[in-house]
Amino acid sequence: MEYLTIGNIKIKKTAALAPMAGVADTAYRTAAKRFGAAYVVGEMVSIKGLAYSDRKSAELLTITDAERPAAVQLFGCEPEFVPAAVEIAERYKPDIIDFNAGCPVPKVAGNGSGSALMKEPKLFGEMVAAIVKAAHVPVTVKIRAGWDAEHINACETAHIAEECGAAAVAVHGRTRTQMYTGKADREIIARVKQTVRIPVTLDERLGVMREQIELLVRCKGEFTGMKEARAQAAFYLKGMTGAARYRGMCGRLSDLKGLYDLIDLIKAENGE
């Protein structure tokens, strides 16, 4: 069985249950898992509603062990409410927090959330960064191809998500104006995949990092090679759970043994 790794969460490469408002409740998600879903996502919950302790929103966050690995999905456009909302969401012990920047329905996009964030890349980045900073689990992001046919910006938006620390990006290949009609553009999905480096299976990423640094040491010697390797190693770890601490350790690397110890530590702490 092949796996996709999102942060420290391993997901079988079969099929996942997408979030569906008014549909994907606990019973539906449990049934989907029973019939083979490798991963499920709950109904989207308002960040602002959670911050104001909205009971109905909180009820949507419940996850049972039979559903795991499972994510809760949040939406919103006001970064100041993110810390409180994430703190409440994590009480329900999700494996992943998914941020919805793709919902096209008027009551969401019309208030500046969901796919409306495709028109506001700066605010989009602020929201993703705030969620990543507040969360203790991997953060994923859902986007669309763009707002309309004249503003296809999924690649740029996905890159922002990656730079802000998102562990994975899901792309709906339609614009907001298409809603759920017309043909999904698989070409834009392919271009996004080529643009960003997330997600990759963790073992593959660390293996490539090790090979590159070993070659660097062979070419330039351990003293010079490891000095240059510090920045290279840190680059490989971007977006990973615990990345800030690991990057700090990269800055102190002085020999290959230190590199190997760091790789072993990352694998141990991320379930590899």
* Separation in Å, CA 24 to CA 92, 97, 150: 16, 16, 32
Which among 103, 155, 164, 250 is annotated as catalytic?
103
Give, to the nearest 10 degrees, the angle between helix 222-236 and helix 256-269.
Answer: 20
Bin 7: left if φ > 0, else alpha if -120 < ψ < 50, else beta. Answer: left
> Taking a C-beta distance cutoff of 8 angstroms, is the pair 132, 99 a contact?
no
Annotation marks residue 103 as catalytic:
yes
CA dihedral 243, 125, 192, 179 (to 10 degrees): 140
> Taking a C-beta distance cutoff of 8 angstroms, is the pair 142, 172 a contact?
yes
Tokens at 116, concatenated:
């409306």
Return d(Cα 261, Cα 153) in angstroms, integer: 40
Say which residue the tokens 């969620």 belong to.
131
Amino acid at 164: C
Amino acid at 193: K
Return d(Cα 88, Cα 107) in angstroms, integer: 23
> Taking a C-beta distance cutoff of 8 angstroms, is the pair 190, 198 a contact?
no
The H or E element containing residue 51 is helix 47-51
Give, to the nearest 10 degrees, the angle between helix 256-269 and helix 243-250.
Answer: 170
Enumerate the active-site residues. Answer: 103
